[in-house]
Structure 1
Amino acid sequence: MEFRSKQLCISEAKEIDIVHYLSELGYEPLKVRNNDYWYRSPLRAEKTASFKVNRGLNRWYDHGLGKGGNLVDFAILYHNCTVGELLEKLSTSLSFQKPGYGQTLITTTSDNKLKIVRDTALSSYALLRYFEERHIPVQVADRYCREVGYQLNEKMYYGIGFKNDLGGFEIRNPYFKVGSAPKGITTFDNGADEVIVFEGFMDFLSFMVVHENEPEDRFDFTVLNSLSFFETARPFMEKHKAIRLYLDNDTAGQNCSRYALSLSSKYKDESSLYQNHKDFNAWVMNFGKPYK
């Protein structure tokens, strides 16, 4: 799907096909009945599909949240951004391979479009500099990340690769995020009684920096890589005596934390630590342990 180079107006953005947009984000319907496409909600964690898109009307409704609307209404909730920021990104393209505003918007691609062609130790100056900007020393990044080159739509790109348990990569550089199939969670099983849970791997790396002088096997870790994998992660998380959640301070992250707290007293929401910041990494960059 291609977009014109000029700035989209809000009326044009509202007419972007929601089903296609969700597919670009990595969400596929669990069932389709006539014009109704049913999903597990991208805005919260749930077991059953209660997020509906009527493709004929091009409108969505989340029965769990009691909210709905057009694509713009959804996207500003999902990405926690302003309408202006959203329109700027959509005007560039849905693939987000070019520099733009921040790193808010995310696209994922299917395996037949994205192919990993190189998997090496971190060496690119741009990627190492990005870690420095995120207050993550290279010696920490080197333990958990790789530098990956990949082909997408017959073009070559490279980025930081963080591997999941199924062998796929979460990929990031200063301008965008993508993911290669198979998609899934990343776990570190040290035989501990407690598990620390993060939404993304930058938060995990930041935690390792803050606690670098403590034994690594003090905790087990789960990186969801997407809130949509929360249910997938539950068997690993719930075998522990305590589950500490460091999810993002946005609508989706906080809804997921509330859902988890309703499941078991094992879960504890730790997001108050960084309550004035979007996530744990943002807190570390501003008030946590200084980069050395």
Structure 2
Amino acid sequence: MDFRKQKLSIAEAKEMDMVQYLSSIGHEPSKIRNNDYWYLSPLRQEKTPSFKVNQKLNRWYDHGLGTGGNIIDFGIAHYGCSVGEFLKKLNGGFSFQKPFKNRSKIENQPEHQLKISKDVELNSHALIRYLKQRKIPVEIATQYCREVRYELNAKNYYGIGFKNDSDGFEIRNPYFKASSSPKDLTTIKNGSDEVAVFEGFMDFLSLRALHQNLPGNSQDFVVLNSVSLFERARPFMEEHQVVRLYLDRDATGQNLTQRALSMSTKYIDKSTLYKNHKDLNDWLVGIGKQQKTRLGSKLS
């Protein structure tokens, strides 16, 4: 779903992926069973996940409350607002001063947790092909990523793993996006007084791909791995004289960028580089498609 529209209709809002939206506001699934994503309820305090999103149907149901619905129903319940106010929220025009709830880790459910079995050097043809589709050179990806083998719901999988500061992994493959516990941000310290900030590691790798001729230690980097970890990253960012923000161009990313710009002049919005795209990697992939189209026109 494209968040950049000036006005979002109810029908368009209902098409937004609930799993992606929950992630954008700081809620990650505790377990996944096929199309069912289970969460600690964003609507109340609980210790056992009973809030389910069926990604195929794109509907949620809170078993503790006995209610559910679409994303608009969720927004009204979560923020205590009207339909119009929630649509403004999705467009970045309405501010809800509601803190994220503190959520305890789920215990005694190891059979449903994503478990890392091992990590090795990137060598899977499928993962390398996926990186090439995302316009990420393999030689750059291998500097920062590993090939991660993991178990979920008694089945074995593999993906591109990007380690965080607590030794958990952000995991990507062409069909799946997940995290292993513990969830944390990733800081790359090169002793610079400048730092570049990203929501996800694909955007970080995209910048490294764009600046292949620059030494990797020209600046420090922080990958949030979730916008909900922005405040946790603040102390590290504040250690630097210049903070370049490469956040997403959706409502959540742009609101966070504007909040950072209001805090200090050291924060700089770099998302104007890809203002007509969702994020930096989307822009990088788009450049490749444009070049291919131009080449095809010249050859025809």
Global fold match (TM > 0.5): yes
* Number of the residue aligned with 1:147: 147
Taking only the aligned residue pairs, the percentage that are identical comes to 50
Kept in 1, the 8 Å contact 2:43–2:78? The answer is no
Residue equivalent to 2:170: 170
> How far off its partner does 1:191 sit?
0.9
Report how far residue 67 of structure 1 moved. Answer: 5.1
Deviation string 1:106-138 (CA, Å, 9 cap, x unpaired) is xxx988311100210011110000011111111
Q: Superposed, which structure 2 residues align to 1:1-292 within 5 Å?
A: 22=27, 24=29, 28=40, 32=44, 55=65, 58=68, 59-61=73-75, 77=90, 112=110, 113-287=113-287
Pair 265,255 (structure 1): closer, same or farther in 2 beyond 3 Å: same
Question: Per-residue displacement from partner, 1:129-183 (whole Å, max 9, x unpaired)?
Answer: 0011111111111100000110101111110000000000000000110000000
Q: Give, as a single letter, the amino acid of the residue that structure 2 aligns with 1:276.
A: N
CA contact (8 A) 1:246 1:270 kept: yes
Inter-partner Cα distance in structure 2 for 1:245 and 1:62: 30
* Paired residue secondary structure (1:126): helix
Query: Residue 169 of structure 1 aligns to which amino acid in structure 2?
Result: F
8 A Cα contact 2:43 2:77, kept in partner: no
Distance 1:33 1:181, change over 3 A: closer
Letter in 1 for 2:245: L
Classify 1:264/1:57 alpha carbon distance in 2 versus 1 (closer, same or farther; 3 Å).
farther
- Going from structure 1 to structure 2, the CA distance change for 1:62 and 1:223 (only over 3 Å counts) comes to farther
For residue 287 of structure 1, report the CA deviation from its aligned partner: 2.3
Cα distance in 2, alignment partners of residues 191 and 146 from structure 1: 24
RMSD value over aligned CA atoms?
Answer: 3.7
Please state how far the C-alpha of 1:55 moved relative to its aligned partner: 4.0
In 1: Cα distance, 2:157 partner to 2:218 partner: 37
Shift of 1:234: 0.4
Taking a change above 3 Å as real, the CA distance of residues 207 and 27 of structure 1, as seen in their structure-2 partners, is farther
Structure-2 change in CA distance of 1:61 and 1:282 (3 Å): closer
SS in 1 for 2:182: coil
Question: Which amino acid in the other structure matches residue 123 of structure 1?
Answer: N
Q: Secondary structure at the match of 1:268?
A: strand
Q: Which amino acid is the alignment partner of residue 220 of structure 1?
A: D
Change (3 A) 1:273 1:161: same
| Letter aligned with residue 255 of structure 2 | N
Q: How many residues align?
A: 222
* Bigger helix share: 2
Matches of 2:256 and 2:77 in 1, distance apart?
Answer: 15
Contact 2:198 2:224 in 1 (8 A): yes
SS class of match (2:122) = coil
Judged with a 3 Å threshold, the aligned counterparts in structure 2 of structure 1 residues 279 and 220 are, in CA distance, closer, same or farther, namely same
**Partners of 1:200 and 1:220 in 2: how far apart?**
15
Checking the alignment, whether the CA contact within 8 Å between 1:284 and 1:290 is kept in structure 2 is no
TM-score by length of 2: 0.65
> Does the 8 Å contact 1:116/1:148 carry over to 2?
yes
The one-letter code matched in structure 1 to 2:229 is: F
Q: Give yes or no for contact 1:160–1:172 (8 Å, CA) kept in 2.
A: yes
Deviations 1:42-64 (A, max 9, x none): xxxxxxxxxxxx94655545899
3-state SS of paired residue (2:117): strand
Query: Is the alpha carbon distance of 1:250 and 1:216 closer, same or farther for their aligned partners in structure 2, counting shifts above 3 Å?
Result: same
TM-score (norm 1): 0.66
Change (3 A) 1:248 1:61: same
The 1-side partners of 2:125 and 2:41 are apart by: 40
Task: Check conservation: 1:206, 1:281, Cα contact below 8 A.
Answer: yes
Unmatched runs of 5 consecutive residues or more in structure 2: 1-13, 30-36, 47-63, 92-105, 293-300
Counterpart amino acid of residue 253 in structure 2: G
**5+ long unaligned stretches in structure 1:** 1-9, 35-53, 79-108
**Taking structure 1 as reference, are residues 57 and 222 closer, same or farther at Cα in structure 2, changes over 3 Å only?**
same
Cα distance change, pair 62–260 in 1 and its aligned pair in 2 (3 A): farther
Distance 2:40 2:168 in 1: 18
* Cα distance in 2 between the residues matched to 1:247 and 1:196: 10
Q: Note closer, same or farther for the CA distance 1:68–1:232 as it changes in structure 2 (3 Å cut).
A: farther
